[in-house]
Structure 1
């Protein structure tokens, strides 16, 4: 069975992060609080690397609109940090995040599974909502953020292969890992990105129809959570 443990309260400020530096500070604080084998810690390390990479790219002027990229990055990260804060406060996180928090200490789940489950929750659910949040903050349409969205996606894609190489079991475990190889190969970051963009456009289109928007968000959350449970199938 999945091992569920409460998340230790953390000494970082609650509420939405103010900027990318605040996001980085909070994720570094989390890194210092959790053991390396914790499933949420595995994802946090990867996400911290991604955010540091995006931050450097913004500073170097590699995004078409620096302010838009920063706002999107922060709105995206605050969805993950809000899930962490919810668990720390004894509340239920979104359904998309629940499998990772529930299985975070399961001895039969491998680090690569934790990483992909976190990425699945964050891109599959959070990214679409973050685009809408950013559009509201910036007073723009999703189409105005498409270049920034694609650039962030390029950073994620560049890191995905390294993540799989670093966390995949070595040659001595290939026979045991055969089902794992099949499982993780069935999940695609590119398809998740495409679905997130479609979801953002749909949510923006129905933003003045709250019942419909709420229903879509709820079903998106539940569907991504179901995929996360499959990704976290224990292998022993």
Structure 2
């Protein structure tokens, strides 16, 4: 998320372009400076956070992973790690996983819950919002769910991906903890990418700071790309309690 600035003309001088951007971002930062707490992850395309620094904001560097050239699948295959290629082949040949698009949202949310349980995390909040997002993306033909099933009809893994012309984005996914050895998650992601190439040539894994997830993204041959997490202020104990209480009531 974060600021969006329209593209400049091709003949713009860098010094003029940078100065104009800093004025715009400075005006935005000044409108946010009064907030007690502000936290947002900026898009990786925002490379200058100085105007926010000047207004007292803080920055933490995080990473996403980007793939370009979806319409050249042979090149992506070559750049994958051997482990990812082995998982794809194993899922398809040994476990006979079949990948389907447009799987039911209930099945996807169910397998996502299993992933949270395996990681000993609380069940994800906002499932109603997720269902609505899936429905709207499908209506607009700008997002869908892919799932990998075995011959017995068991769902091994699923991914929810959305797209627009400039990029696709991996929003959520999950896998059955008892069936992880099949390598289905890699196969589902690979098959989804090949279909998404009809809409865009770029793919954003959306990043993760969790070691296992980071490795999964990186081994598809995606390029590590930094982005800024911008923040200001800190919640006091009372406000943290109120937020925690509101979440329990959801």
Give the shorter-chain TM-score range: under 0.3
TM-score by length of 2: 0.25
Higher Rg of the two aligned structures: 2
Between structures 1 and 2, the one with greater strand share:
2
TM-score by length of 1: 0.26
Between structures 1 and 2, the one with greater helix share:
1
